Structure 1
């Protein structure tokens, strides 16, 4: 299928699909006219990429975790996936701690405002 059709079926822009293809996250072949041709399984591949991006992984981590999916689309408990997901949880926990600290500072500043 051509990139426009893949974009329509996956809900992802052609620009993003070209980027994924350049990073070898998607596989395509070039037609004689230079157009990218994607297999039908590319829709599922894009779904997997988007899932990993939606949980906060960067594209480098996505590339490392993609091989951990089974052919039917399930993420296995391979060491790479476990390590990356644990790392992402740690990053989320750190962000929460920073936001809680910021909230405390904001609340303290608000409480100390002088009516003028």
Structure 2
């Protein structure tokens, strides 16, 4: 299938699909006219990529975790997936702590506002 059909079937922009393809996250072949040709499996590949991006992984991290999916589309407990997901949890925890500190600063600043 051509990129526009994959875009329509996956709900992901053609631009993003080209980017995934350039990074090697999607597999395609080039037709004689230079167009990318994707197999029907590409829809599932895009779903997996989007799942990993939605949980906050970078494209580079997603590339490392993609081999951990089964043919049925389930993420397995392979060491790479475990390591990357644990790392993502640590990053989320760090962001939460930073936001809590910022909230405390804002609350303190608001409490110290002087009426004019």
Q: TM-score range by the shorter chain?
A: over 0.9
TM-score calculated relative to the size of structure 2: 0.99
Q: Deviations over 1:10-63 (max 9, x none)?
A: 000000000000000000001111110000000000000000000000010000
Shift of 1:3: 0.3
Q: How far, CA to CA, are the matches of 1:91 and 1:18 in structure 2?
A: 28
- Structure 1 stretches lacking a partner, 5+ long: none
Where do 1:14-53 residues align within 5 Å?
Answer: 14-53=14-53
Partner of 2:4: 4
Shift of 1:82: 0.3
Where do 1:29-108 residues align within 5 Å?
Answer: 29-108=29-108
Q: Deviations over 1:61-98 (max 9, x none)?
A: 00000000000100000000000000000000000000
Q: Matched residue pairs, number?
A: 116
Q: How far, CA to CA, are the matches of 2:39 and 2:51 in structure 1?
A: 20
Shift of 1:115: 0.8
- Structure 2 stretches lacking a partner, 5+ long: none
TM-score calculated relative to the size of structure 1: 0.99
Q: How far, CA to CA, are the matches of 1:12 and 1:64 in structure 2?
A: 21
Where 1:102 maps in the other structure, the secondary structure is helix
